[in-house]
Structures are given as structure tokens and as C-alpha cells.
Amino acid sequence: MASAVEVEHLWKTFQIPHEKRTTLFENLVGMMKPRQYETYTVLKDVSFEVEEGECVGIIGDNGSGKSTMLKIIANILRPTKGKVRVKGKMTPFLELGVGFQPDLTVRENIGVYATVMGLSRKDILEISDDVVKFAGLEKFEDTKLKNLSSGMQVRLAFSTAIQTEPDVLLVDEVLAVGDMEFQQKCFDVFNRYRKEGVTILFVSHDLGAVRRFCDRTLLLGGGERRAFEETGKVLDKYVYGRSECENSSDDSNIGQCGSNRWGNKKVIIIDVEFLDKFGIKCTRFSSMDPMTVRIHYHAVEDISDITFGIAIHSDDGHHLFGTNTKIKNIPLRVLPGDGRIDLKIDHIPMLSGKFLLSPAAQSSDYQITYHWIDKQYSFEVIPTSSDAGLIAMSCNWVT
């Protein structure tokens, strides 16, 4: 199959001047001293090809160059080095309602926006009624845009935008706005586009959506291409393949809040690790995947009556779960020296979010607390589907 988008050795560097000179006067005065720039390389030698009719996701952390990449493909930004080739008509959905004028009527705005999106005058005459109907604005055709609610404006923009018939569609996080119903509509439209063989490039933080829609996914990290292959593999890599660097920064945060740990320290909890399904330390997990919580401790003396426990809180402070070895009827005894204890979780029952973990070591009657570290460890859960909410349930619809 032929490639619809080719990106070859793309580099993009932004120059950020230390002092911004926006007037001629400042420039004239500033000519005396040399100008100092901070150069910031956003994309480093990125190459990839997208085949015709393929849907490709672009993921990565904030600042990894996703949006810049999309804007270069859209010809809005020019590459510092490298080449981009796009075959066919390209339509960017970087923002809905580009060129909307609040003082023009709904119908006039459809005309302006549709023209901006590349429709001809003839097409616009044909689609106007459909757009108005699809957006549910029949009564407001001649109302000024500024008198519509923002929800109506988004609906109008979306209904207009999807009238375009591109060969290549660039989508940047448009789906992040709007309610569930609207998002569902978006997905329906993208499915339609896919069926029509439109090539789609989709930048998103919504890994669930990427998993659902994209055949292949490009993972960017620090401006470099980290992976470009089948979506499932890339998401695994993204979710699991970044433990070392993240943990260290998390730990430094942990150490600072001394008031959140207490106990007589006859047993000290040295560290808590989260292990993924491959047994590798990390802090991000896919929903419903297995996880092991490993508590490292150091005992100062022989204690014959000890209970290890954990509590899990959501990041807004709700107590979600707590368990310990006594509840599970596991009598424990520790000898002086280092040791560890694992808690195996078969399926993480959370859907998405950040969760805080508090490990504790107490006597079995809870009278003596050896060591308690409150909410100092955290892990993240990433959804694997488009389900909504805090917890995950394995369920099936039966008809």
C-alpha cells in the first residue's frame, strides 16, 4: 500500500529569546548587545510513514512533541530540518470552530468555517441544512453565534467540521472536550471516516481511545521516536517501560514529608515497590492487570507478633481499601535484619487515576505501631477501555 504521510528525519527547534523584543524600538535599542537565545529542540530526528487508510495514534508525555509534530504535518509550523510529505487533501482538526465570528449568524458561520475547512461554495449550499439539523439548531439559524450556549457552538463547529471529506485527517485532543454523548458522536464519526478509508493521525492522552481506534501508534519521548508499531505493544511499552526514571522522582517527594510517618521503629519499612505483570518495578499500571506490592523492611530485634498491612486511598483522600496479614490470618514473626513481604493483587480493580498507598507494621493487637508511612507511595492506573469512573468491573452485556 502507498504511504499517505511520510515524515523523514524531522527536527524542530524553537528559539526562545531571553528577553522578548516585540517592538521595533526594543530591537533598535537591543542592537547594542547580542541577542541570547534559549534553543529548545522539540523533535529530534523523527521518521515514520503512515499508510493509506491507516489510523495512527501519537502518544507521549506532555512536552514530548506530539502537537508540534501534528502542526508540522499540517504545515502550520515549518520543520527546522527534514521533510514531510502528505498525499491528498489534508484537514486538521486542531481546534473546533476556527474562524467563528460571534457577531455573525449561525448560517453565516457555517459558511465561513466550512470554507476555512476547504469546502467549495456549492458544497456549502448543499450541506448547510444538514449541519443545522445535525447540530439541532433549526430554530436558531439566524441567531448570532454569540447568543448560543457554548455547548451549541461546539455542536455547530463539530457538525460543520465533519462535512469535510479529507484524505488525511489530523486530530489533536479534540475529543477531550465535551460530554460523554459528544465524545461518543466523535467516535462514531471517526469510525465512519475509517470505513471510508481516510488516513487518520490522532494525538491523544486518552490511551483508552488510542487502543480502541489506532492500528499503529507512535510513541514520542523527549522529542524522539521511542516506538512505532502495533498499538497494544506500544501502549504496554509506554505504560510499563518507564519505571526507573519516574520512581526516583517520586521517592524524592516521599522523603520530604516526615510528619507522615510514625512508630517506635523497632521495625522500619525501608521501601515499597510496585511490580507489574512482568515483575518489573514501575508506577503505572493498566487497569485490571496484576500488580505486586513489595514491602522491604528492616527489623532491629526479634518480634514474634507482627502484622503488616496496607491501605489504599484515592488521590482525593477517600479510603478505598485496607488489608493486613492478621485479617488474612497469617501469623508472622520477624528476625533481626532485612526482609520483604509481597502482596499479590490479581487484577487492579481501579479504572484510572492516581492512588496512594500507606504501608504499616504493627503488633497484632494494633497496640504497638512499629512503623507507619501514611500515603507516601503512589501508583497510577490507566484505563484500557473507554469505560468511565474510578473502579473497574469485569462485566458483559447480555441480550
Partner 1 sequence: MYKLLTANHIHELYRYRDLILRLAWSDFKLRYKSSALGFFWSLLEPLLMLVVLYVVFSNLMRVQVEHYQLFLLLGIILWNFIDRGTSMSIWGIVGKPSLVQKVYFPRDILVISTCITALMMTALEFVVFIIFMVIFRVLPEVTVAYFPILFILEFFIILGLSMALSALNVYFRDVQFIWRLIVQVGFFGTPILYPITIFPENIRWIVMLNPMAQIITMMRDCTLYGISPEPANLAYVAVCTLVLLLLGYSIFARLEPRFAEAI
User: Under the criterion CB under 8 A, does residue 99 sit at the interface with partner 1?
Assistant: yes
> By three-state DSSP, how is residue 218 classified?
strand
The footprint of partner 1 on residues 14-33 (CB under 8 A) is 14, 22-25, 27
User: Under the criterion CB under 8 A, does residue 117 sit at the interface with partner 1?
Assistant: yes
Among 9, 31, 81, 95, binds partner 1 (CB under 8 A): 95
Q: Output the smallest distance, CB 39 to partner 1, in A.
A: 13
CA distances from 201 to 5, 154, 222, 243, 349 (A): 9, 21, 20, 28, 32
- From 56-64, 100-108, 148-156, 389-397, span contacting partner 1 (CB under 8 A): 100-108
User: Under the criterion CB under 8 A, does residue 94 sit at the interface with partner 1?
Assistant: yes
DSSP state of 391: B
With respect to partner 1, which residue has the nearer C-beta, 75 or 253? 75
User: Under the criterion CB under 8 A, does residue 147 sit at the interface with partner 1?
Assistant: no
With respect to partner 1, which residue has the nearer C-beta, 22 or 248? 22
Q: Output the smallest distance, CB 136 to partner 1, in A.
A: 24
What DSSP string runs through 227-251? Answer: EEEEHHHHHHHHHHTTHHHHHHHHH
Alpha helices in 119-176 (DSSP H): 121-134, 150-161
Residue showing cell 502550520: 76
- The three-state (H, E, C) secondary structure of 302-358, written as one string: CEEEEEEEEEEEECCCCEEEEEECCCCCCCEEECCEEEEEEEEECCCCECCEEEEEE
Q: Which among 47, 17, 39, 44 is positioned nearest to 30, based on CA atoms?
A: 17
User: Under the criterion CB under 8 A, does residue 116 sit at the interface with partner 1?
Assistant: yes
Binding residues for partner 1, how many (CB under 8 A)? 28
User: Under the criterion CB under 8 A, does residue 253 sit at the interface with partner 1?
Assistant: no
Q: What number of other Cβ atoms are within 10 A of residue 67's Cβ?
A: 18
With respect to partner 1, which residue has the nearer C-beta, 91 or 376? 91
Among 71, 211, 216, 225, binds partner 1 (CB under 8 A): 71
Q: Output the smallest distance, CB 179 to partner 1, in A.
A: 23
User: Under the criterion CB under 8 A, does residue 345 sit at the interface with partner 1?
Assistant: no
Q: Which among 190, 186, 163 is positioned nearest to 175, based on CA atoms?
A: 186
User: Under the criterion CB under 8 A, does residue 192 sit at the interface with partner 1?
Assistant: no
DSSP state of 175: G
Report the C-alpha gap between 247 and 379 in whole angstroms.
Answer: 10
User: Under the criterion CB under 8 A, does residue 177 sit at the interface with partner 1?
Assistant: no
Interacting residues with partner 1 (CB under 8 A): 14, 22-25, 27, 71, 74-78, 92, 94-95, 98-99, 101, 103-104, 108, 111-112, 115-117, 120-121
